[in-house]
Amino acid sequence: MPEGLAVLKWDDELGPVVTSKTPKKLQVGLDPTTAMRVYGIATLGETEESQKPGFSSLAFNDFQLAVYYGGLKMHLNGLPSMVFLVLSPEEDADAYKDALPEIATQIFLDADGNKYKKKVPKLYKQLERFTQMTPEQRQASILNDPLRRTIVQTLMRNGTLQSTELEEIILDKIGKQIDVDLVLRPLVKMGIVATGWVEGLASEVIYLTRALFILRKIPLDTIQSIREKSVPQEVADKYLEASRTYHTEYLLKLKTDLFDTIWGDVESLTKFTLDFQAYDIIKLLRQGPVEEEQLKKSFDLDESIIKKQVKKLEKANIIMRVKDSEKRFHILLKCNPELLTVYPEWLIQRTVEMYNEEDIVPSQAMHYLEVLKRSHPSQIEELTTDGE
Amino acid sequence: MIRAIHIFKEDETVFQDIIVPNKDLDTPAIMNLVSASAKRLHEWKIDSLEIERYRYVYLNSHDTQFILTMDRQASVQKVSEAMMTIVSKFMTVFENALAQDEWRTTDFSPFEIGFRAVVSRIPVKVCLAGHGGTGKTTLLELATLPSKGPPQEYVPTFFGDKALLKADFDPYIFSMFDLGGQDRFVQEWSKIIRSGSLVVLVTDSTVENIEWTKRVAYPVLKNELPYARVIAIANKQDLPGALSPEEVGTQLGVPSYGMQANQIDFRNRWLKLLKDLAFEEIESVVIGEIVE
């Protein structure tokens, strides 16, 4: 765990000034000489106009720094600013390469009236969680972020966007300009979008290569476990009936309105996936039903916290609490919130239609179809076989 | 760096405090011009006027005109904020006197303390510029870390360094910036030196070093800080073959002063030079007017 987090803002008279830090007692890495080096390494080689955001790390004798520079668009009150983590010499600074820009951006976006200062301790706590996230949680964090969710939704409809259009979406959603690369980076890293240049277009083009969404899936492992008599018969009967009714209705909703059903509860489903306590309960229940008393013993948490989480998950139709004849409660997964990435086959037809209706620049459409061809599962399989 | 304040009402001087006098221009004539412009401003609106290396920041409140004289190169935003503070402080005490005819007989001189307190909150930015190994870091530490003693070994400065210097400079405190002197860092100077009021060129007292300063440092400084005042330090005077400070000054086109920065005995001389530079009590030039 880092020793602390600090925000550094350039001041023309004073040089780099630490405007906020957590914990309050943090001293290491905050001296003026180090602050100048941080500013130097973050902006080295950049002119006043070019200033690109970026992550860098600096090693000193007794500590390390992981630094994120906000670039030209992310100045705090008009002045160059950076957020940095103070780390012990043994820590891997690169482990914060994804998390620090996210935290820093939230700080930069709250620059007005110095509101960010209050957020710093809370964001610092979130940072540790960021680095502990599973791949599934990383995907959930994309859908939980309203801006990235909008981008995924837009791309799932039309397949491709020019970066100038994306800038408009960002401005509309956030009210400020954020670096497009920063917003797209996790999506590119997960193979959900690709970017490229098309001859004749002035801005970069963004393509969807895999669709990302979250579904309430039937918990097959739970059902299998029930069949293997892991719970008393009366519990199994009650569960199966309720589960059948729930999933029949859910499937019907998917058939009638796919878009609204998928996106309608994405926020709450991703919220539970990102809440470590709730997520741990879901992960345990994915393996099969658990008795309530056993559940309480499975986690190093207060009983009241577990009770609260169970109640919330039950209310969100993710789990069920069923009483047996001996008045013991069994907790079962009612639906499995599962993040899925799929090849966006429907976008082949959609792109052709947009091309025919001249809703898209022809070269952009051609390029996207080429991207879709290259990212088709059959092509990837072929490549893998060739590689082998 | 705020140099002076003038407060006028009905064309009469209510209060003035001149920390560093303007020796170049006809101050009464400029004050007439600026106060006439200030009278036309809406209440609490701030405007400014630049003449040569000076900037006049002015505001009109309660039919009273407040004019701050500052170095043109310093941060106008900070001085504008200081203006609001100064006027608020002044009005808190003297608003009633100004509202009636009492102001003609009121003694405003106690306001000097309040004014100077605000002035001291904006550090005077001093930039130490020169080639690597000429003694900029040594001078920085000689001034700011007297107990440590000046460093005797050369460790190249990465990008730059900075330190605050509080000494016998009242009401000013200095914000000292040591600019990394390796060639790769000179192009980075523009990020550091903005709003610098004072520049100290640090050079070895050798022809090669002077040539480097003229060829590499001058273009950056002339571009970024044309209105800042500059002196040169002809360092390492103890080395055999060292050019005299006068010779260094002639070749640089900048008044130069001899120094041995690695000797603690030179600390007082160094502090005195800094003070005299700020208060304009030694010869200096404006960077944009350097004649090579």
> Same structural domain for residues B15 and B138?
no
For chain A, 388 residues long, give each residue's pLDDT as a single digit of tens: 889 999 998 999 999 999 999 999 999 989 999 999 988 888 887 666 666 778 888 898 899 999 998 876 666 666 778 899 999 999 999 989 888 988 888 888 887 777 888 889 989 988 877 888 899 999 999 999 888 999 999 999 999 999 999 888 888 887 777 778 888 988 998 999 999 998 888 889 999 999 999 999 999 999 999 989 889 999 999 999 999 999 999 999 999 988 888 888 898 899 999 998 999 999 999 999 999 999 988 888 888 999 999 999 999 999 999 999 999 999 999 999 999 999 999 999 999 999 999 999 999 999 999 999 988 888 766 655 555 4
Distance of CA A383 to the CA centre of its chain: 29
Alpha-carbon distance B14 to nearest alpha carbon in chain A (angstroms): 31
Distance CA A123, CA A117 (A): 10
Residues A13, B175: C-beta atoms closer than 8 Å? yes
Any B CB within 8 A of A75 CB = no
Distance CA A48, CA A29 (A): 26
Do the domains A213-340 and A137-210+343-387 match in fold? yes
- Tell me the pLDDT tens digit for each residue of B28-45: 999 999 999 999 999 989
Alpha-carbon distance B12 to nearest alpha carbon in chain A (angstroms): 34
Pairing of strands A4-11, A336-342: unpaired
Closest residue, chain A, to B160 (C-alpha): A36
Alpha-carbon distance A164 to nearest alpha carbon in chain B (angstroms): 29
What CATH number is attached to the domain comprising B256?
3.40.50.300
Which chain A residues have a beta carbon less than 8 Å from that of B192?
15
Residue B195 has what pLDDT? 93
Burial class (CB in 10 A: 0-12, 13-18, 19+), A356: exposed
Any A CB within 8 A of B160 CB = yes
Residue A51 has what pLDDT? 63
Residues B78, A13: C-beta atoms closer than 8 Å? yes
Say which of B122, B180, B191 has its CB closest to residue A13. Answer: B122
- The four Cα atoms B113, B115, B121, B122 give a dihedral, to 10 degrees, of -140
> Same structural domain for residues B157 and B100?
no
Closest residue, chain A, to B180 (C-alpha): A40
> Same structural domain for residues B95 and B166?
no
> Same structural domain for residues B185 and B85?
no
> Same structural domain for residues B108 and B139?
no
Say which of A13, A16, A41 has its CB closest to residue B195. Answer: A13
Residues B158, A37: C-beta atoms closer than 8 Å? yes
Alpha-helix residue ranges (DSSP H) falling in B41-171: 76-99, 111-119, 136-144
Any A CB within 8 A of B116 CB = no
Distance CA B175, CA B190 (A): 16
> Same structural domain for residues B284 and B247?
yes
Residues B175, A14: C-beta atoms closer than 8 Å? yes
Query: Mutate which of B121, B148, B159, B220 to test chain A, going by most A C-beta atoms within 10 A?
Result: B159
> Same structural domain for residues B140 and B100?
no
Residue A299 has what pLDDT? 87
Alpha-carbon distance B1 to nearest alpha carbon in chain A (angstroms): 10
CATH number for region A213-340: 1.10.10.10
Number of folded domains that form chain B: 2
> Same structural domain for residues B215 and B139?
yes
A101 contacts A184 by C-beta, under 8 angstroms? no
> Same structural domain for residues B266 and B161?
yes
> Looking at the whole model, is its pTM more than 0.80?
no
Residue ranges of domains in chain A: 4-132, 137-210+343-387, 213-340
Which chain B residues have a beta carbon less than 8 Å from that of A44?
159, 188
* Boundary of a domain, candidates B103, B119, B135: B119
* Boundary of a domain, candidates B119, B137, B160: B119
For chain B, 292 residues long, give each residue's pLDDT as a single digit of tens: 999 999 999 999 999 999 999 989 999 999 999 999 999 999 989 999 999 999 999 999 999 999 999 999 999 999 999 999 999 999 999 999 888 888 899 999 999 999 999 999 999 999 999 999 999 999 999 999 888 878 888 888 999 999 999 999 999 999 999 999 999 999 999 989 999 999 999 999 999 999 999 999 999 999 999 999 999 999 999 999 999 999 999 999 999 999 999 999 999 999 999 999 999 999 999 999 998 7
Any A CB within 8 A of B284 CB = no
Query: Mutate which of A9, A34, A36, A47 to test chain B, going by most B C-beta atoms within 10 A?
Result: A36
> Same structural domain for residues B135 and B195?
yes
Strands (E), A218-305: 290-291
- CATH number (3.30.43, 1.10.8, 3.40.50, 3.30.450) of A4-132 reads 3.30.450
> Same structural domain for residues B241 and B201?
yes
Residue A178 has what pLDDT? 77
- Give me the residues of B, 41-100, that contact A with CB < 8 A: 74-75, 78
3-state secondary structure of B225: coil
Say which of B123, B158, B161 has its CB closest to residue A13. Answer: B123
CATH number for region A137-210+343-387: 1.10.10
> Same structural domain for residues B98 and B168?
no
Residues A44, B159: C-beta atoms closer than 8 Å? yes
Residues A48, B122: C-beta atoms closer than 8 Å? no
Distance CA B242, CA A75 (A): 46
Alpha-carbon distance B250 to nearest alpha carbon in chain A (angstroms): 31
Residues B194, A33: C-beta atoms closer than 8 Å? no
Residue A78 has what pLDDT? 62
Structural domain range at position B133: 124-289
- Counting one residue from chain A and one from chain B, the pairs whose CB atoms sit within 8 A come to 51
* Boundary of a domain, candidates B93, B119, B145: B119
Residue A212 has what pLDDT? 95
Any B CB within 8 A of A39 CB = yes
